[in-house]
A and B are shown apart, each in its own frame.
Chain A
Amino acid sequence: MKQKDMQLFRLYPLGDSAITVQFGDSIDEATHTKVRAFSTYLDRHPFTGFREQVPAFNTVTVYYDPWQASERGFYNPYTRVTDQLQHMLKVARENGKGTKPRVVEIPVCYNGSFGPDLEYVARHTKLTPQEVIASHVRGKYQVYMIGFAPGFPYLGGMAKKLATPRKQNPRPRIPAGSVGIAGGQTGIYPIETPGGWQLIGRTPLRLFDPDREQPSLLQAGDQVKFVAISEKEYWQRKEKSHGA
Protein backbone atom coordinates (compact mmCIF):
# COMPACT_ATOMS: atom_id res chain seq x y z
CA MET A 1 0.00 0.00 0.00
CA LYS A 2 1.23 3.47 -0.87
CA GLN A 3 2.37 5.78 1.91
CA LYS A 4 -0.24 8.33 0.83
CA ASP A 5 -3.10 5.84 1.30
CA MET A 6 -1.84 4.82 4.73
CA GLN A 7 -2.21 8.37 6.03
CA LEU A 8 -5.91 8.39 5.20
CA PHE A 9 -6.94 6.02 7.95
CA ARG A 10 -5.83 4.26 11.10
CA LEU A 11 -6.96 0.84 12.36
CA TYR A 12 -7.18 -0.09 16.02
CA PRO A 13 -8.75 -2.99 17.96
CA LEU A 14 -11.83 -2.41 20.12
CA GLY A 15 -11.41 -5.54 22.19
CA ASP A 16 -11.11 -9.04 20.72
CA SER A 17 -14.20 -8.87 18.48
CA ALA A 18 -14.17 -5.43 16.86
CA ILE A 19 -11.85 -3.19 14.88
CA THR A 20 -12.28 0.55 14.44
CA VAL A 21 -11.20 2.25 11.24
CA GLN A 22 -10.58 5.96 11.84
CA PHE A 23 -10.60 8.49 9.01
CA GLY A 24 -9.29 11.91 10.06
CA ASP A 25 -9.52 13.70 13.39
CA SER A 26 -12.41 16.09 12.87
CA ILE A 27 -16.13 16.32 12.17
CA ASP A 28 -16.50 17.42 8.57
CA GLU A 29 -18.20 16.35 5.36
CA ALA A 30 -15.00 15.26 3.58
CA THR A 31 -14.13 12.84 6.40
CA HIS A 32 -17.67 11.57 6.54
CA THR A 33 -17.72 10.91 2.79
CA LYS A 34 -14.96 8.34 3.42
CA VAL A 35 -16.90 6.89 6.34
CA ARG A 36 -19.99 6.54 4.15
CA ALA A 37 -18.12 4.95 1.25
CA PHE A 38 -16.47 2.34 3.46
CA SER A 39 -19.57 1.59 5.52
CA THR A 40 -21.68 1.03 2.38
CA TYR A 41 -19.00 -1.14 0.83
CA LEU A 42 -18.71 -3.35 3.92
CA ASP A 43 -22.44 -4.07 4.09
CA ARG A 44 -22.36 -5.11 0.44
CA HIS A 45 -19.21 -7.22 0.79
CA PRO A 46 -19.34 -8.96 4.17
CA PHE A 47 -16.29 -11.13 4.95
CA THR A 48 -16.29 -14.48 6.78
CA GLY A 49 -17.12 -13.82 10.42
CA PHE A 50 -18.46 -10.28 9.79
CA ARG A 51 -21.24 -9.37 12.25
CA GLU A 52 -22.03 -5.73 11.55
CA GLN A 53 -20.54 -2.28 11.11
CA VAL A 54 -21.31 1.01 12.83
CA PRO A 55 -20.44 4.29 11.10
CA ALA A 56 -19.86 7.38 13.28
CA PHE A 57 -18.46 10.91 12.74
CA ASN A 58 -14.95 9.88 11.71
CA THR A 59 -14.92 6.11 12.28
CA VAL A 60 -16.41 2.85 11.08
CA THR A 61 -16.36 0.09 13.70
CA VAL A 62 -16.41 -3.44 12.35
CA TYR A 63 -17.74 -6.22 14.60
CA TYR A 64 -16.65 -9.78 13.90
CA ASP A 65 -16.68 -13.26 15.38
CA PRO A 66 -13.03 -14.30 15.94
CA TRP A 67 -13.98 -18.00 15.70
CA GLN A 68 -15.55 -17.67 12.25
CA ALA A 69 -13.09 -15.02 11.02
CA SER A 70 -10.14 -17.26 11.92
CA GLU A 71 -11.73 -20.14 9.94
CA ARG A 72 -12.25 -21.97 13.26
CA GLY A 73 -8.83 -21.25 14.69
CA PHE A 74 -6.77 -21.65 11.54
CA TYR A 75 -5.66 -18.01 11.19
CA ASN A 76 -4.91 -15.21 13.64
CA PRO A 77 -8.32 -13.48 13.65
CA TYR A 78 -7.09 -9.89 14.10
CA THR A 79 -4.46 -10.16 11.37
CA ARG A 80 -6.89 -11.92 9.08
CA VAL A 81 -9.62 -9.28 9.43
CA THR A 82 -7.14 -6.38 9.31
CA ASP A 83 -5.69 -7.66 6.03
CA GLN A 84 -9.14 -7.91 4.50
CA LEU A 85 -10.14 -4.45 5.72
CA GLN A 86 -6.96 -2.88 4.32
CA HIS A 87 -7.79 -4.33 0.95
CA MET A 88 -11.44 -3.24 1.11
CA LEU A 89 -10.46 0.29 2.15
CA LYS A 90 -8.56 0.69 -1.08
CA VAL A 91 -11.38 -0.65 -3.25
CA ALA A 92 -14.11 1.19 -1.34
CA ARG A 93 -12.34 4.51 -1.92
CA GLU A 94 -12.35 3.93 -5.66
CA ASN A 95 -15.98 2.77 -5.66
CA GLY A 96 -17.15 5.61 -3.42
CA LYS A 97 -15.92 8.38 -5.68
CA GLY A 98 -18.69 10.52 -7.10
CA THR A 99 -21.60 8.79 -5.32
CA LYS A 100 -24.12 11.30 -4.03
CA PRO A 101 -25.75 11.04 -0.60
CA ARG A 102 -29.47 10.36 -0.37
CA VAL A 103 -31.50 13.50 0.44
CA VAL A 104 -34.42 12.93 2.83
CA GLU A 105 -37.09 15.59 3.26
CA ILE A 106 -38.51 15.90 6.76
CA PRO A 107 -41.79 17.83 6.95
CA VAL A 108 -41.99 19.84 10.17
CA CYS A 109 -44.87 21.76 11.66
CA TYR A 110 -43.33 24.68 13.57
CA ASN A 111 -46.70 25.98 14.82
CA GLY A 112 -47.87 26.69 18.35
CA SER A 113 -48.04 23.64 20.55
CA PHE A 114 -45.61 21.64 18.36
CA GLY A 115 -42.84 24.18 18.97
CA PRO A 116 -43.29 25.25 22.60
CA ASP A 117 -39.74 26.69 22.77
CA LEU A 118 -39.77 28.54 19.44
CA GLU A 119 -40.42 31.87 21.19
CA TYR A 120 -37.58 31.22 23.62
CA VAL A 121 -35.14 30.35 20.83
CA ALA A 122 -36.19 33.51 18.97
CA ARG A 123 -35.58 35.68 22.03
CA HIS A 124 -32.24 34.00 22.74
CA THR A 125 -31.01 34.36 19.17
CA LYS A 126 -32.46 37.87 18.76
CA LEU A 127 -34.45 36.75 15.71
CA THR A 128 -38.17 36.62 15.06
CA PRO A 129 -39.83 33.17 15.20
CA GLN A 130 -40.31 33.41 11.41
CA GLU A 131 -36.58 34.04 10.98
CA VAL A 132 -35.72 31.03 13.16
CA ILE A 133 -37.97 28.81 11.02
CA ALA A 134 -36.60 30.26 7.77
CA SER A 135 -33.02 29.65 8.88
CA HIS A 136 -33.78 26.10 10.11
CA VAL A 137 -35.50 25.24 6.81
CA ARG A 138 -32.74 26.77 4.71
CA GLY A 139 -30.02 24.50 6.16
CA LYS A 140 -28.66 21.34 4.57
CA TYR A 141 -27.96 18.81 7.26
CA GLN A 142 -25.58 15.90 7.23
CA VAL A 143 -26.52 12.73 9.16
CA TYR A 144 -23.18 11.87 10.80
CA MET A 145 -24.32 9.06 13.01
CA ILE A 146 -27.41 7.28 14.36
CA GLY A 147 -27.09 6.62 18.07
CA PHE A 148 -28.28 7.45 21.60
CA ALA A 149 -31.73 6.01 20.81
CA PRO A 150 -33.15 3.90 17.94
CA GLY A 151 -33.21 6.10 14.83
CA PHE A 152 -31.82 9.23 16.55
CA PRO A 153 -29.75 11.23 14.00
CA TYR A 154 -26.71 13.28 14.94
CA LEU A 155 -27.06 16.14 12.45
CA GLY A 156 -24.36 18.56 11.40
CA GLY A 157 -24.88 21.82 9.53
CA MET A 158 -27.22 23.99 11.63
CA ALA A 159 -26.68 27.76 11.20
CA LYS A 160 -24.47 28.99 14.06
CA LYS A 161 -26.85 31.87 14.83
CA LEU A 162 -29.56 29.36 15.91
CA ALA A 163 -27.43 27.93 18.74
CA THR A 164 -29.41 27.90 22.00
CA PRO A 165 -28.46 26.16 25.26
CA ARG A 166 -30.50 23.22 26.58
CA LYS A 167 -33.32 23.80 29.03
CA GLN A 168 -32.34 24.11 32.70
CA ASN A 169 -34.99 21.57 33.65
CA PRO A 170 -35.42 18.72 31.17
CA ARG A 171 -38.99 17.75 30.26
CA PRO A 172 -40.04 14.37 31.67
CA ARG A 173 -41.67 13.44 28.34
CA ILE A 174 -40.91 14.64 24.85
CA PRO A 175 -43.28 13.35 22.13
CA ALA A 176 -41.81 11.26 19.31
CA GLY A 177 -41.09 13.37 16.22
CA SER A 178 -40.16 16.50 18.18
CA VAL A 179 -37.54 18.66 16.46
CA GLY A 180 -35.23 20.53 18.80
CA ILE A 181 -32.08 22.54 19.32
CA ALA A 182 -29.40 21.85 21.94
CA GLY A 183 -26.37 24.11 21.80
CA GLY A 184 -25.12 24.17 18.22
CA GLN A 185 -26.97 20.97 17.27
CA THR A 186 -30.41 20.22 15.92
CA GLY A 187 -32.08 16.83 16.15
CA ILE A 188 -35.29 14.83 16.05
CA TYR A 189 -36.60 12.60 18.86
CA PRO A 190 -37.54 9.20 17.35
CA ILE A 191 -39.26 7.84 20.47
CA GLU A 192 -40.87 9.43 23.49
CA THR A 193 -38.14 10.12 26.06
CA PRO A 194 -37.24 12.67 28.70
CA GLY A 195 -34.99 15.43 27.36
CA GLY A 196 -33.67 18.95 27.64
CA TRP A 197 -33.72 20.13 24.03
CA GLN A 198 -35.48 23.36 23.03
CA LEU A 199 -38.43 22.16 20.96
CA ILE A 200 -39.20 24.19 17.86
CA GLY A 201 -41.46 21.84 15.87
CA ARG A 202 -42.65 18.30 15.20
CA THR A 203 -42.58 15.94 12.23
CA PRO A 204 -45.41 13.52 11.41
CA LEU A 205 -42.89 10.96 10.07
CA ARG A 206 -41.88 7.94 12.12
CA LEU A 207 -38.12 8.01 12.54
CA PHE A 208 -38.14 4.56 14.10
CA ASP A 209 -40.47 1.72 13.20
CA PRO A 210 -39.38 -1.81 14.23
CA ASP A 211 -41.73 -3.34 11.63
CA ARG A 212 -40.16 -1.51 8.71
CA GLU A 213 -37.50 -3.32 6.70
CA GLN A 214 -35.15 -0.47 7.55
CA PRO A 215 -36.38 0.45 11.04
CA SER A 216 -34.50 3.76 11.13
CA LEU A 217 -35.85 6.29 8.60
CA LEU A 218 -32.47 8.01 8.42
CA GLN A 219 -29.09 6.33 7.89
CA ALA A 220 -25.63 7.73 8.52
CA GLY A 221 -24.51 9.50 5.35
CA ASP A 222 -27.98 10.82 4.39
CA GLN A 223 -28.68 14.51 3.92
CA VAL A 224 -31.70 16.04 5.60
CA LYS A 225 -33.82 18.93 4.40
CA PHE A 226 -36.56 20.30 6.68
CA VAL A 227 -39.77 21.49 5.00
CA ALA A 228 -42.25 23.68 6.90
CA ILE A 229 -45.85 22.38 6.85
CA SER A 230 -49.14 23.58 8.30
CA GLU A 231 -50.92 21.94 11.21
CA LYS A 232 -53.51 20.52 8.80
CA GLU A 233 -50.81 18.92 6.66
CA TYR A 234 -49.19 17.60 9.83
CA TRP A 235 -52.30 15.61 10.76
CA GLN A 236 -52.83 14.40 7.17
CA ARG A 237 -49.23 13.20 6.90
CA LYS A 238 -49.37 11.67 10.37
CA GLU A 239 -52.40 9.58 9.50
CA LYS A 240 -50.62 8.37 6.38
CA SER A 241 -47.26 7.53 7.97
CA HIS A 242 -48.84 5.79 10.93
CA GLY A 243 -51.21 3.78 8.78
CA ALA A 244 -54.22 5.45 10.48
Chain B
Amino acid sequence: MGLEIIKPGLLTTLQDKGRYGHQKEGIITSGAMDTFASRVANMLAGNPEHEAVLEITLIGPTIRFTEDQLIALTGADLSAELNGEKLRLWRPYFVKSGSILSFGAPQSGCRAYMAVSGGFDIPQVMGSYATYLQAGIGGYQGRALQASDFIPCNSPTATGIALFSQATGTTDGHDYLAATWTPDPQFYPNYKPNPTLRAIKGPEFELFSDTSQEQIWVERFQVSSQSDRMGYRLQGVSLYLNEATELISTAVTFGTVQVPPEGKPIVLMADHQTTGGYPRILQVISVDLPILAQVAPGQTIAFEEVSLEEAQQLYIRQEQNLTQLAHAIHLKHSK
Protein backbone atom coordinates (compact mmCIF):
# COMPACT_ATOMS: atom_id res chain seq x y z
CA MET B 1 0.00 0.00 0.00
CA GLY B 2 1.12 3.53 -0.53
CA LEU B 3 0.65 6.98 -1.94
CA GLU B 4 0.66 7.85 -5.63
CA ILE B 5 1.94 11.37 -6.18
CA ILE B 6 -0.07 12.95 -8.99
CA LYS B 7 1.28 16.50 -8.47
CA PRO B 8 4.24 17.08 -6.13
CA GLY B 9 3.35 20.57 -4.82
CA LEU B 10 5.94 23.27 -4.15
CA LEU B 11 8.18 21.35 -1.73
CA THR B 12 6.90 18.10 -0.26
CA THR B 13 9.44 16.07 1.71
CA LEU B 14 9.48 13.24 4.23
CA GLN B 15 10.68 14.41 7.63
CA ASP B 16 10.85 13.15 11.20
CA LYS B 17 12.12 14.49 14.53
CA GLY B 18 15.59 14.98 13.02
CA ARG B 19 18.88 13.19 12.55
CA TYR B 20 20.82 13.49 15.79
CA GLY B 21 24.32 12.39 16.68
CA HIS B 22 26.12 13.31 13.45
CA GLN B 23 26.41 17.10 13.64
CA LYS B 24 30.00 16.60 14.76
CA GLU B 25 30.58 15.09 11.29
CA GLY B 26 29.08 18.12 9.57
CA ILE B 27 25.77 16.33 8.98
CA ILE B 28 22.83 18.64 9.69
CA THR B 29 19.83 17.47 11.74
CA SER B 30 17.12 18.25 9.13
CA GLY B 31 13.69 17.11 10.38
CA ALA B 32 10.26 18.76 10.50
CA MET B 33 10.23 22.57 10.69
CA ASP B 34 7.13 22.50 12.93
CA THR B 35 7.90 19.64 15.31
CA PHE B 36 4.71 20.22 17.30
CA ALA B 37 2.39 19.69 14.34
CA SER B 38 4.43 16.74 13.03
CA ARG B 39 4.42 15.00 16.42
CA VAL B 40 0.68 15.46 16.88
CA ALA B 41 0.05 14.15 13.34
CA ASN B 42 1.80 10.92 14.33
CA MET B 43 -0.12 10.69 17.62
CA LEU B 44 -3.47 11.09 15.84
CA ALA B 45 -2.54 8.34 13.38
CA GLY B 46 -1.63 6.03 16.26
CA ASN B 47 2.07 6.10 15.40
CA PRO B 48 5.17 6.20 17.56
CA GLU B 49 6.86 9.61 17.54
CA HIS B 50 9.80 8.63 15.37
CA GLU B 51 7.77 7.81 12.23
CA ALA B 52 8.22 9.91 9.12
CA VAL B 53 5.51 12.36 8.07
CA LEU B 54 5.00 14.37 4.89
CA GLU B 55 5.95 18.03 5.20
CA ILE B 56 3.86 20.02 2.74
CA THR B 57 4.90 23.60 1.95
CA LEU B 58 2.38 26.33 0.89
CA ILE B 59 1.24 24.72 -2.36
CA GLY B 60 0.21 21.18 -1.55
CA PRO B 61 0.51 18.03 -3.65
CA THR B 62 -2.24 15.90 -5.19
CA ILE B 63 -2.11 12.38 -3.80
CA ARG B 64 -4.04 9.19 -4.59
CA PHE B 65 -4.41 6.52 -1.89
CA THR B 66 -3.96 3.07 -3.41
CA GLU B 67 -5.61 1.31 -0.46
CA ASP B 68 -7.78 2.13 2.56
CA GLN B 69 -5.70 4.30 4.84
CA LEU B 70 -5.82 6.00 8.22
CA ILE B 71 -4.35 9.49 8.07
CA ALA B 72 -4.10 12.73 10.05
CA LEU B 73 -3.30 16.20 8.76
CA THR B 74 -2.02 18.97 11.06
CA GLY B 75 -0.28 22.34 10.88
CA ALA B 76 -1.04 24.93 8.20
CA ASP B 77 -4.48 25.26 6.61
CA LEU B 78 -3.65 24.82 2.93
CA SER B 79 -7.27 24.15 1.89
CA ALA B 80 -6.99 20.38 1.94
CA GLU B 81 -9.77 18.43 0.21
CA LEU B 82 -10.62 14.74 0.04
CA ASN B 83 -12.37 13.92 -3.21
CA GLY B 84 -13.36 17.58 -3.47
CA GLU B 85 -14.77 17.90 0.07
CA LYS B 86 -13.09 20.01 2.72
CA LEU B 87 -10.83 18.00 5.02
CA ARG B 88 -10.55 19.12 8.63
CA LEU B 89 -7.21 19.40 10.36
CA TRP B 90 -6.02 17.90 13.66
CA ARG B 91 -8.15 14.73 13.62
CA PRO B 92 -7.87 11.14 12.42
CA TYR B 93 -9.46 10.23 9.08
CA PHE B 94 -10.31 6.93 7.51
CA VAL B 95 -9.78 7.25 3.75
CA LYS B 96 -11.06 4.77 1.18
CA SER B 97 -8.85 3.29 -1.50
CA GLY B 98 -8.72 5.44 -4.63
CA SER B 99 -9.45 8.67 -2.75
CA ILE B 100 -7.70 11.82 -3.87
CA LEU B 101 -6.19 14.32 -1.45
CA SER B 102 -5.63 17.76 -2.96
CA PHE B 103 -4.84 21.25 -1.75
CA GLY B 104 -5.92 24.77 -2.71
CA ALA B 105 -4.95 28.28 -1.66
CA PRO B 106 -3.03 28.63 1.62
CA GLN B 107 -5.41 30.01 4.28
CA SER B 108 -3.12 30.23 7.30
CA GLY B 109 0.36 28.99 8.08
CA CYS B 110 3.03 27.69 5.75
CA ARG B 111 3.58 23.97 6.40
CA ALA B 112 1.12 21.10 6.78
CA TYR B 113 2.01 17.62 8.03
CA MET B 114 0.42 14.34 7.04
CA ALA B 115 0.93 11.12 8.95
CA VAL B 116 -0.29 7.73 7.72
CA SER B 117 -1.01 5.09 10.33
CA GLY B 118 1.91 2.63 10.36
CA GLY B 119 4.28 5.17 8.82
CA PHE B 120 6.07 5.22 5.49
CA ASP B 121 8.03 2.18 4.36
CA ILE B 122 11.32 3.91 3.58
CA PRO B 123 14.84 3.15 4.82
CA GLN B 124 16.46 5.08 7.64
CA VAL B 125 19.76 6.76 6.84
CA MET B 126 22.04 7.37 9.83
CA GLY B 127 19.15 6.58 12.18
CA SER B 128 16.61 8.95 10.66
CA TYR B 129 13.99 9.21 7.90
CA ALA B 130 14.51 12.96 7.47
CA THR B 131 15.26 14.25 3.96
CA TYR B 132 18.62 16.04 3.77
CA LEU B 133 18.13 17.87 0.49
CA GLN B 134 21.61 19.36 0.03
CA ALA B 135 23.36 15.99 0.49
CA GLY B 136 20.64 14.00 -1.31
CA ILE B 137 20.11 11.47 1.48
CA GLY B 138 17.22 10.25 3.64
CA GLY B 139 13.48 10.60 3.00
CA TYR B 140 12.30 9.38 -0.38
CA GLN B 141 15.47 8.92 -2.51
CA GLY B 142 17.05 11.91 -0.81
CA ARG B 143 14.86 14.44 -2.57
CA ALA B 144 11.55 16.28 -2.64
CA LEU B 145 8.61 14.31 -4.07
CA GLN B 146 7.97 14.41 -7.81
CA ALA B 147 4.99 13.57 -10.00
CA SER B 148 4.41 9.80 -10.42
CA ASP B 149 6.47 8.84 -7.34
CA PHE B 150 5.00 5.96 -5.36
CA ILE B 151 5.65 6.22 -1.61
CA PRO B 152 5.16 2.83 0.05
CA CYS B 153 3.36 2.75 3.41
CA ASN B 154 3.30 0.19 6.20
CA SER B 155 0.04 -1.41 7.39
CA PRO B 156 -1.89 0.66 9.94
CA THR B 157 -0.90 0.19 13.58
CA ALA B 158 -3.22 -1.57 16.02
CA THR B 159 -3.58 1.74 17.84
CA GLY B 160 -4.55 3.46 14.60
CA ILE B 161 -7.19 0.83 13.82
CA ALA B 162 -8.51 0.98 17.38
CA LEU B 163 -8.88 4.76 17.12
CA PHE B 164 -11.55 4.15 14.51
CA SER B 165 -13.23 1.16 16.07
CA GLN B 166 -15.95 3.30 17.70
CA ALA B 167 -16.74 4.86 14.36
CA THR B 168 -16.98 1.84 12.08
CA GLY B 169 -20.07 0.85 10.13
CA THR B 170 -21.07 3.67 7.89
CA THR B 171 -19.19 6.21 5.87
CA ASP B 172 -22.48 8.02 5.33
CA GLY B 173 -22.21 8.09 1.56
CA HIS B 174 -18.71 9.61 1.70
CA ASP B 175 -15.40 8.03 0.76
CA TYR B 176 -14.00 8.89 4.13
CA LEU B 177 -14.84 8.96 7.80
CA ALA B 178 -13.59 11.68 10.11
CA ALA B 179 -13.18 11.19 13.83
CA THR B 180 -15.69 13.27 15.75
CA TRP B 181 -13.09 14.43 18.24
CA THR B 182 -10.00 16.60 18.03
CA PRO B 183 -7.41 17.60 20.67
CA ASP B 184 -8.17 20.67 22.78
CA PRO B 185 -6.65 23.60 20.81
CA GLN B 186 -5.53 25.22 24.08
CA PHE B 187 -2.61 22.76 23.90
CA TYR B 188 -1.46 24.17 20.55
CA PRO B 189 1.26 26.78 20.13
CA ASN B 190 -0.16 30.27 19.60
CA TYR B 191 -0.17 30.02 15.79
CA LYS B 192 -0.95 33.36 14.17
CA PRO B 193 0.28 35.52 11.31
CA ASN B 194 2.96 38.17 12.00
CA PRO B 195 3.78 36.70 15.42
CA THR B 196 5.97 38.01 18.22
CA LEU B 197 8.44 35.27 19.14
CA ARG B 198 9.96 34.80 22.54
CA ALA B 199 13.74 34.70 22.63
CA ILE B 200 16.65 34.74 25.02
CA LYS B 201 19.81 36.78 24.49
CA GLY B 202 22.38 35.07 22.31
CA PRO B 203 26.01 34.48 23.36
CA GLU B 204 27.21 37.63 21.50
CA PHE B 205 24.28 39.93 22.44
CA GLU B 206 26.53 42.26 24.46
CA LEU B 207 28.88 42.77 21.50
CA PHE B 208 26.17 44.67 19.59
CA SER B 209 25.82 48.46 19.75
CA ASP B 210 23.40 49.92 22.31
CA THR B 211 21.11 50.97 19.46
CA SER B 212 21.06 47.46 17.97
CA GLN B 213 20.48 45.89 21.40
CA GLU B 214 17.42 48.10 21.76
CA GLN B 215 16.15 47.76 18.19
CA ILE B 216 16.12 43.97 18.18
CA TRP B 217 13.39 44.04 20.86
CA VAL B 218 11.25 46.86 19.43
CA GLU B 219 11.47 46.72 15.64
CA ARG B 220 9.50 44.41 13.36
CA PHE B 221 11.32 42.43 10.69
CA GLN B 222 9.95 41.12 7.42
CA VAL B 223 10.69 37.53 6.43
CA SER B 224 12.27 37.90 2.97
CA SER B 225 11.48 35.79 -0.07
CA GLN B 226 14.99 34.29 0.25
CA SER B 227 13.87 32.20 3.20
CA ASP B 228 13.76 28.44 3.25
CA ARG B 229 14.32 25.39 5.45
CA MET B 230 17.91 26.51 6.08
CA GLY B 231 17.10 29.96 7.39
CA TYR B 232 14.84 33.01 7.33
CA ARG B 233 16.49 36.20 6.12
CA LEU B 234 15.02 39.24 7.83
CA GLN B 235 14.50 42.67 6.26
CA GLY B 236 14.29 45.78 8.43
CA VAL B 237 16.77 47.80 10.44
CA SER B 238 20.40 46.72 10.16
CA LEU B 239 22.17 45.61 13.31
CA TYR B 240 25.82 46.30 14.03
CA LEU B 241 28.52 45.32 16.46
CA ASN B 242 30.22 47.94 18.63
CA GLU B 243 33.44 47.15 16.83
CA ALA B 244 34.30 44.71 14.06
CA THR B 245 35.20 41.40 15.72
CA GLU B 246 36.45 38.22 14.08
CA LEU B 247 34.82 35.32 15.90
CA ILE B 248 36.09 31.75 16.02
CA SER B 249 33.52 29.44 14.38
CA THR B 250 31.44 27.34 16.75
CA ALA B 251 28.19 25.40 16.82
CA VAL B 252 24.84 27.03 16.03
CA THR B 253 21.34 25.60 16.35
CA PHE B 254 17.68 25.78 15.22
CA GLY B 255 16.41 29.22 16.25
CA THR B 256 19.80 30.96 16.44
CA VAL B 257 19.52 34.56 15.17
CA GLN B 258 22.88 35.44 13.64
CA VAL B 259 23.94 38.72 12.05
CA PRO B 260 26.38 38.81 9.09
CA PRO B 261 28.49 41.99 8.63
CA GLU B 262 25.94 43.70 6.33
CA GLY B 263 23.59 43.81 9.32
CA LYS B 264 20.53 41.83 8.19
CA PRO B 265 19.70 39.08 10.71
CA ILE B 266 19.16 35.45 9.70
CA VAL B 267 17.15 33.02 11.84
CA LEU B 268 18.55 29.51 11.43
CA MET B 269 15.89 26.86 10.77
CA ALA B 270 15.75 23.03 10.59
CA ASP B 271 18.31 22.66 7.76
CA HIS B 272 20.85 25.06 9.32
CA GLN B 273 24.56 24.34 8.96
CA THR B 274 26.17 22.77 12.02
CA THR B 275 28.65 25.59 12.70
CA GLY B 276 28.94 29.29 11.99
CA GLY B 277 31.07 32.32 12.69
CA TYR B 278 28.61 35.22 12.74
CA PRO B 279 27.69 36.91 16.04
CA ARG B 280 24.54 35.41 17.57
CA ILE B 281 22.28 38.16 18.91
CA LEU B 282 19.29 36.01 19.97
CA GLN B 283 18.05 32.49 20.32
CA VAL B 284 14.33 31.88 19.67
CA ILE B 285 12.99 29.60 22.39
CA SER B 286 12.14 26.01 21.40
CA VAL B 287 8.39 26.18 22.04
CA ASP B 288 8.05 29.17 19.66
CA LEU B 289 9.90 27.52 16.76
CA PRO B 290 6.69 25.82 15.50
CA ILE B 291 5.07 29.29 15.31
CA LEU B 292 8.05 30.59 13.32
CA ALA B 293 7.95 27.53 11.04
CA GLN B 294 4.42 28.55 10.02
CA VAL B 295 5.44 32.10 9.04
CA ALA B 296 5.44 32.54 5.25
CA PRO B 297 7.78 34.94 3.39
CA GLY B 298 6.34 38.47 3.37
CA GLN B 299 5.00 38.31 6.92
CA THR B 300 6.63 40.26 9.73
CA ILE B 301 7.95 39.04 13.07
CA ALA B 302 9.13 40.70 16.28
CA PHE B 303 11.04 39.41 19.30
CA GLU B 304 10.20 39.55 22.99
CA GLU B 305 12.71 38.75 25.72
CA VAL B 306 12.25 35.90 28.19
CA SER B 307 14.71 34.35 30.62
CA LEU B 308 16.36 30.99 30.08
CA GLU B 309 14.47 29.69 33.10
CA GLU B 310 11.11 30.74 31.61
CA ALA B 311 12.04 29.19 28.26
CA GLN B 312 12.80 25.87 29.92
CA GLN B 313 9.65 25.96 32.05
CA LEU B 314 7.61 26.52 28.88
CA TYR B 315 9.45 23.59 27.25
CA ILE B 316 8.58 21.34 30.18
CA ARG B 317 4.95 22.50 30.16
CA GLN B 318 4.66 21.71 26.46
CA GLU B 319 6.03 18.20 27.00
CA GLN B 320 3.54 17.73 29.86
CA ASN B 321 0.73 18.85 27.53
CA LEU B 322 1.86 16.45 24.82
CA THR B 323 2.08 13.62 27.34
CA GLN B 324 -1.47 14.44 28.45
CA LEU B 325 -2.61 14.53 24.83
CA ALA B 326 -1.01 11.15 24.13
CA HIS B 327 -2.79 9.82 27.21
CA ALA B 328 -6.16 11.21 26.06
CA ILE B 329 -5.72 9.59 22.65
CA HIS B 330 -4.83 6.33 24.34
CA LEU B 331 -8.11 6.49 26.31
CA LYS B 332 -10.03 7.03 23.05
CA HIS B 333 -8.86 3.79 21.56
CA SER B 334 -8.97 1.67 24.71
CA LYS B 335 -12.66 2.47 25.29
Contacts and interface: CB of A to CB of B under 8 A. Distances in A.
Interface in B6-51: 20-27
B25 A56 contact: no
A15 interface: yes
Interface string A35-48: 00001000000000
A14 B315 contact: no
A67 interface: yes
Interface string A89-132: 00000000000000000000000000000000000000000000
Contacts of A22: 250
Contact of B22 (A152, A191, A215): A215
A70 B312 contact: yes
A30 interface: no
A104 to B, nearest CB: 14
A146 B26 contact: yes
A126 to B, nearest CB: 28
Contact of B253 (A18, A58, A219): A18
A216 interface: yes
A13 B308 contact: yes
A16 B200 contact: yes
Q: Is the interface of A mostly helix, strand, loop or mixed?
A: loop
A98 B256 CA distance: 36
B126 A210 contact: yes
Contact of B26 (A16, A51, A59, A151): A151
B311 A146 contact: no
A8 interface: no
Contacts of B244: none
Interface residues of A, number: 50
Interface stretch (A73-81, A162-170, A198-206, A230-238): A73-81
A66 B125 contact: no
B26 A14 contact: no
Contact of B200 (A13, A53, A208): A13
B334 interface: no
Interface string B154-180: 000000000000000000000000000
B20 A52 contact: yes
A129 to B, nearest CB: 31
A66 B135 contact: no
A190 B27 CA distance: 12
Nearest to A22: B250
Nearest to A69: B312
Nearest to A18: B253
A210 B125 contact: yes
Contacts of B105: none
Given A57-B250, A147-B273, A20 B311 contact: no
B83 interface: no
B27 A150 contact: yes
B320 interface: yes
A76 B309 contact: yes
B253 A149 contact: no
A215 B132 CA distance: 14
By CB atoms of chain A within 10 A, which of B25, B26, B273, B311 has the most?
Answer: B26
Nearest to A213: B126
B24 A53 contact: yes
B27 A215 contact: yes
B186 interface: no
A70 B275 CA distance: 27
B251 A56 contact: yes
A15 B26 contact: no
Contact of A70 (B21, B23, B126, B316): B316
A15 B256 contact: yes
15 contacts: A14-B203, A16-B286, A17-B286, A20-B250, A20-B251, A22-B250, A51-B21, A57-B249, A66-B315, A70-B316, A78-B312, A145-B249, A150-B25, A150-B135, A210-B137
Interface of A: 12-18, 20, 22, 25-27, 39, 51-59, 61, 63, 66-67, 70, 72-73, 76-78, 145-152, 154, 190-191, 208, 210, 214-216, 219-220
